[in-house]
Every structure is written in C-alpha cells, then in structure tokens.
A = this chain, B = another copy of it.
Amino acid sequence: MCAAATTFKQDDHSDLQRACTLSHFSHVLFGGNNQGLQGISQRPISPTLKERYTLSTMVNQVQRVDGSWQTSKSDSSGASNSGESSKESSRCSTPLLDADRSDRLREKMRKRMESGDPWFSLEFFPPRTASGAVNLISRFDRMGSGGPLFIDITWHPAGDPGSNKETSSMMIASTAVNYCGLESVLHLTCANQSQETITGYLTKAKQLGLKNIMALRGDPLGTDWEDEEEGFNYATDLVKHIRSEFDDYFDICVAGYPTGHPEAQSYAEDLQHLKEKVDAGADFIITQLFFRADTFLKFLRDCRAIGITVPILPGVFPIQGYQSLRQLVKLSKLEVPEEIMEVIEPIKDNDAAIRSYGIHQAVEMCRVLLDSGVVPGLHFYTLNREVATTEVLRQLGLWIEDPRRPLPWATSANPKRKVEDVRPIFWASRPKSYIYRTQDWDDFPNGRWGNSSSPAFGELNDYYLFYLKSKSSKDALLKMWGEELTSETSVFEVFTSYITAQVNRGGHKVMCLPWNDDALATETNLLKDELEKVNRRGVLTINSQPNINGKPSSDPIAGWGPAGGYVFQKAYLEFFTSSENVTALLKVLKKYEPRVNYHIVNVQGHNMTNAHDMQPNAVTWGIFPGREIVQPTVVDPVSFMYWKDEAFALWIEQWAKLYEDESPSRMIIKYIHDNYFLVNLVDNDFPLDSCLWQVLDDMFELLDAPPEVVGDG
C-alpha cells in the first residue's frame, strides 16, 4: 500500500500551478492510503479566490467556496469520455446525430468497434478552487472539440465529492455532461462507506443526468484492510450494489491492473478479481498505466483467456516531467523500464526535452497498441493538462482537427435532453445560461419549437450571480470596457473594438463583452466590415449570422450535422440601439415587408413586431440524407421576452457595476439600459444577399436627412 501524490511543476496552464494528488490515478496505480500526502495536502494553496461564485450554481444553488481545500487520498481508475463527435469513417453511411446522442456509452463503444473506428478518452480530476473549476470547464470545451468518446472525473473522498460544491467530483462531472455536452464517467469509491451513502451518491448522479460510473474500492482508512460485515470490501461489491439498486441504468467501468494490483496475492489472483467485477456487471475495463505495449497486450490476452470479453482500454500516461515521474516511481510499485530511464536521466533538467520525449514515447507505444488490432480505444491520464495529450492524439491522427458539429450549438449529454434539437437563437453566445434556465423542463423541443405560449424559463435571480459574471477580472474588464466612460460614444467604441479585434483608446484589446465572453465567432467574422460600420454609429450588435443558401454540411465554418447534407440560414442581426434610431428604423422597415421580420423591445417590455401570430421563425436548418429536416435555431417571439430580461440585465450586472455608484460612467450605462431598445431582425429571403445592412443604411440615411425629409419619411 502506498499513497500517491505528486507535486507538479509549473505548467502552461496557471490553474494547474499547484500541487495536487493524482486523484483517481493514484488508486489505479497504487491503491494506497493517503499517509504520504499529508505534507502536500496541508500546504496552503490558493488562499484567495478569483471567483466568489461557483460552478455548483450551474446545477443547483449558489454557494461560496469556503477557502482552502484539503487534498487527500484519491482513487479509482479512469475512463474519459466526450460528446457527439465521432470519426468521419463511422459517420458517412448512417446519420449519427440522433443515434449518437441517445446511445449509451457501451453501445457507442460497440458501434465504434464494429466500424473499426478507434476512439480516445480523457481523465480529469476535480480542481481545488472555483477559478480552477472555471478554467477546467473551458478545458473541457477545448478538449471536447477533439472528439473524445468520453471523459471521466475522479472521486476525492476527502474533497466532499458528492456535494454541491463547485469543485466536487459530482458537480464537475455534472457540468461536463450538462453544460459541455461530454459523455462522462463519474468515479465512485466504496471503501468505508455505508450502502445508504453510496446509494445516495448514485441517486444524485442519476438525477444530474450522469449515466456512467467507474466502480472502485478506494483506499482504506487505516493502513490495512479490515473486511467489514455490512460495508463494501471490494469494487465487486460496489458493482453488485449498483446493479441491484439501479438495475441496468448505469454503464459501469472497473479498473484493470496490467501488472497485477499491488495488494493482490498474485497476478493470476488479480485477474480472477477482475473477472469477478466483470461477472458482477461491469461493462468495460480501463487499466492502470504501464510503460510498454507488451505489458498491456499480455494482460489483454490473459483476460481473454479466462473469459473476460468486455472492452479493455489501455491507460496511457505521457511522461510530462522528471520530478513527477520520479515521484511516481518512488510512491508506486510500478517500475519505469530501463530504456526509459536511460533516456530521461541525461535530460532531467530540461523540462521541454522530457515532455518532448514523453510525447514521443507515448505515441510509439500507442501505435503498437492500435496496430495490434485488439485495442479499440486509448485512455489518457491527462493530469488536467492539455498540451501533451493533445499532441499525442494529433500525432496518432485521433484528434479531430475539424470537428463535425452535430448541431450548430453545443448539445448537452444529459439523457433528458437527448432529443433536444431546437433552441432560440438568442442564447447563441450563452449556451450554458440557456441550459441552466431550461434545466427544469420535462420535455425538450424536438423537430420544431412549436407554439411556446409560456415556456417556463428559470428566473434570472436564480442564477445571475454566477452566470452574469465574466471569466475576466474586474481590472481586465475595466481595461477593455473603459476605466471612465464620457458618453454613449465611449460605449460604441468598446463594441467597435470588440468587433475589429483592434486595441481600444487605452491600448487594450477588447476580448469580450457582457453578452459574449469569448472572441468573435469565426462565422461572425464574415460580417466584420458591416458590423464595424454599424457599431460605430450606435447599432450595438450582440448576435448575428449571415444568410447561407445550402452549404455542404462539411463546411468548416458553417457546417454541422451528418455528412452529405446541406445547411441553410436566414440572416439574423440583434442589437441594442437608441429610441431615435428605432423610430427611424420602424419607418424604414415598412419598405421591407414581408421580407424582414422584426421584434423591438425595451427594458420595460414595450414590444413592437410585425410577426403578429407569434410563431417561431426557423433561422437555421439542415437537410441530410435519409433524415427529416433539422431546424436547430429559431427566433421565437415568446422566449425573446425572457432573453430580453437577461440581455438588459447584463448591462447593469456586468458593466455598470464596475463603476462607483452615481459615477458618470455608471450613469451612462444605466442610461443605455433604461432607454435603448433590443432589436432583432430576420431576413426571410435567404437565397438573396442579406438586406439587413441595407435596412440599417436606409435607417442611417433617414437619420442623416434634413429634418423636413425626416418629417416626410
């Protein structure tokens, strides 16, 4: 027995600049207790929090992080898992869209094995701080885009893993599933837990939309195991418990030890234990790490020989530094092979060289594994880092450079939402907010949005503390949006700088706006010149899309959905603008009947529209082989009124509040909030060039005309 904890050196990702336990990883490797970790876990880490409000609010409630966080023993064995994307090869003949979303993990594996399409999966551990959590979620989004079949989240018994804390294993896994759309496996350890506690965790996981469990024993409390009469003594007990209490609901993964579990009497006995776990109901196996392909391949043969037939995924650990490897060697019972030590020792002070070697070594080993023809997928211990794993996957050709999007927006992996394929366009830049606000829906729009006379969107005050918060610090925001605003024009300039990606007056790039916490979407870039022009004149755009008349679904920018299809869009533009502009705009819009539909509303809800029957207008749709039409985005007049509240609130919550009460800057934002209108325009004539710019040109022309002409307008 030994505890596994490794201090990592500074990486390129600041949120990982801390000592941390190897989480699940530790257990897979060593299954020890946490004695060796005490020194590390008690170091004061991240004493201040960048973010006061936490990820747990994504699911349930707003909670403050209570400062320091005790790292300690950890356990389990990993499988990581992600989203919809699958490789081209398995996409062509069958439209995967729906099947892929509704299949359970073992079914996805079966299909990928049948089509000979190898996958990869990624393991992460829960972060220690709220800001770490925010960063990890961004990492999920980025690494999810490479097309992992699933990710997995390790279980930290000492980290309140089943709580609603934003950093708990439960909440991180829930966020990955619900908000990042990643097929996720939650680790769970049973040592020293009552059946009731375990059932409670599983019930909560199910409620949150989690569908897969990695069943592990975990570390004992003392130095030695003492079998408990009523409790769980082996992972097998946990597997049986899950099957007995939850029938076939969960897909279950268990850990395999290519060189035998350190506690096992023998390699052969350990194989028998593994067989017991599988016989108890496990669906697949992820192994502890190893350094030679042969180690795994022999293990695989041995498993098959005793009748283990489920998929067995090799756990791959790209060496990322000398210190971490040395610690691994010291704490674990695994031996680093001679040939690896011989390479590393001479370059031990050269981090870059070691990382580079680690990538090389992992790629070589993975190639042997894949070429064997008996390895359906590779599992990566990422240590929450991106670079090494991503590079290995790129070199192996498994990383999807140009991910096929199943829908124009990121889908959720919660089984409750598996049929969802229509959303209002308004939340395009705030999909997590949309998912949050609709989390209590029992049904999700499928095929058509329908007449949503009263969609029950969650109230703003349930979530805005977290959701209206920017990822950037107050200082950074002030630099981007202006330390001091002098007029509405100062605000126009901020929008213009964001659109053009040019520095503002103060020399800072505007990387985000309250309505867009990321840089401009590639697609929106197509409209850059027009957007710049109108923002300069106070048409403050927050959402737009160009018209598209049948581009292939494989188009790198506009494409989505299965191969062989065509995607379409109606031009859409959404902006805030002054009431003077709106007066002119309404006159101009008469000329564009019935081509242009509009909705114009102020913060009080005064609403002007020419879409009187309040039907949704489909603005994005796709035609695919052998499928019904998919229309994933609509302009829905009813939900626009809910979005309106959120869009106006962002002026105050994210921008005005950066300034002192009663300060001129704050009053300017407040003025805009109180007096501007939120406008959306749809050009229904999608085969023609968008007329929306012409509409705005006409509006400007009318505004620029001498007063008497305005009178005639």
Contacts and interface: CB of A to CB of B under 8 A. Distances in A.
A361 interface: no
A564 B684 contact: yes
Nearest to A631: B629
Given A92-B594, A447-B448, A549-B550, A617 B627 contact: yes
Interface stretch (A380-388, A523-531, A532-540, A618-626): A618-626
A612 B631 CA distance: 23
A655 interface: no
A424 to B, nearest CB: 12
Interface in A300-326: none
A597 B625 contact: yes
A94 B612 contact: yes
Contacts of A686: 566, 623
B568 A623 contact: yes
Interface string A536-569: 0000000000000110000000000001101010
Given A93-B594, A450-B447, A594-B92, A684 B626 contact: yes
Given A93-B593, A564-B594, A613-B94, A628 B623 contact: no
A655 to B, nearest CB: 33
B621 A629 contact: yes
Interface in A28-50: none
Nearest to A550: B687
A93 B589 CA distance: 13
A70 to B, nearest CB: 49
Nearest to A93: B594
A634 interface: yes
A252 B460 CA distance: 48
A687 B566 contact: yes
A537 B625 CA distance: 29
A122 to B, nearest CB: 29
Contacts of A549: 550
A616 interface: yes
Contacts of A631: 628-629
A621 B623 contact: yes
Contact of A615 (B93, B593, B594, B627): B627
Nearest to A635: B626
A503 B618 CA distance: 49
A13 interface: no
A623 B613 contact: no
A97 to B, nearest CB: 10
A364 to B, nearest CB: 36
B626 A617 contact: yes
A396 interface: no
A64 B428 CA distance: 63
A570 B113 CA distance: 33
Contacts of A448: 446-448, 628-629
A595 interface: yes
A566 B549 CA distance: 11
A99 interface: yes
Given A93-B593, A593-B93, A595-B564, A611 B628 contact: no
Given A568-B623, A613-B99, A628 B449 contact: yes
Interface string A7-20: 00000000000000
A628 B624 contact: no
Contacts of A621: 623, 629
A218 interface: no
A215 B685 CA distance: 47
Interface string A491-530: 0000000000000000000000000000000000000000
Nearest to A610: B93
A612 B627 CA distance: 12
A148 interface: no
A376 interface: no
A181 interface: no
A92 B615 CA distance: 15
A624 to B, nearest CB: 7
A235 B640 CA distance: 50
Given A447-B448, A550-B687, A595 B629 contact: no
A258 interface: no
Contacts of A595: 564, 625
A92 B564 CA distance: 35
A564 B682 CA distance: 14
A616 B628 contact: yes
Interface string A34-73: 0000000000000000000000000000000000000000
**Nearest 8 CB-CB pairings of A with B:** A447-B448, A625-B684, A629-B631, A618-B628, A617-B626, A448-B628, A597-B626, A618-B629
17 contacts: A93-B593, A94-B613, A95-B613, A95-B615, A447-B447, A447-B450, A448-B448, A450-B628, A549-B550, A564-B684, A566-B687, A594-B625, A613-B626, A617-B625, A621-B629, A623-B686, A625-B684
